[in-house]
A and B are shown apart, each in its own frame.
Chain A
Amino acid sequence: DVKVTQSSRYLVKRTGEKVFLECVQDMDHENMFWYRQDPGLGLRLIYFSYDVKMKEKGDIPEGYSVSREKKERFSLILESASTNQTSMYLCASSPGQGAEVNLETQYFGPGTRLLVL
């Protein structure tokens, strides 16, 4: 079974704090993703990575950065948290990109509910 874990289920931070959200997957997946999920808006892609040390901006990268130093770990960083970053953050991984599109099935971690005061 694929396992994707996230460092915290719930987090409360103050405006201006630097926030680290960690995600680890144990299935040697190539691809990793960070989403935020807000009511009525669906999942919105923040950043993704297809390989170690590689990152690509998603739809809403502003105010976020990422790090992928090891294949199994993908970190999301909020350099200076703001109240509009209060959200549910979901990490996902998928096996790899290629002709077999079912390899794109994404497996999600349990999510981190972040509250910025």
Chain B
Amino acid sequence: GQNIDQPTEMTATEGAIVQINCTYQTSGFNGLFWYQQHAGEAPTFLSYNVLDGLEEKGRFSSFLSRSKGYSYLLLKELQMKDSASYLCAGMDSNYQLIWGAGTKLIIKP
């Protein structure tokens, strides 16, 4: 079956670095997405990886290892506004997104 696993909740301190892991099992693979969702709002696109390695976008970076079925989202210089849920989604061979349940990130001052 298809499955996305990510931690339910994480806590970090303002100014620090946090890594949110995601493991995936999909029928075929056409990439891995990360979305950010603030409470009560819609998810917004953060990153897309289809090749192995690290993609950096400002304070956020996303990593993919296809051989391990593994990705992580790295957030640096954490700010209070980064408190949100982070959704990992794998795209299967039919271009369908398989969504994880999301990781709620709590930032403490």
- The residue that A42 contacts in the complex, of B4, B40, B45, B96, with Cβ under 8 A, is B4
In the docked arrangement, what's the CA distance between A41 and B48, Å? Answer: 22
A107 to B43 CA separation, bound complex (whole angstroms) = 8
* Contact status of A97 and B45, CB under 8 A, knowing A42-B101, A105-B33: no
Query: What band does the interface of chain B fall in when counting residues whose beta carbon is under 8 Å from A?
Result: 20 to 34
A101 touches B101 (CB 8 A): no
Size category of the binding interface on chain A: 10 to 19
Q: Least Cβ distance of A66 to chain B in Å? A: 16
Question: Does A54 reach chain B (CB closer than 8 Å)?
Answer: no
Q: Return the chain A residue nearest B50 by Cβ.
A: A101
Binding site for A on B (CB under 8 A): 4, 8, 30-31, 33, 40-45, 48, 50, 87, 89, 91, 95-97, 99-102
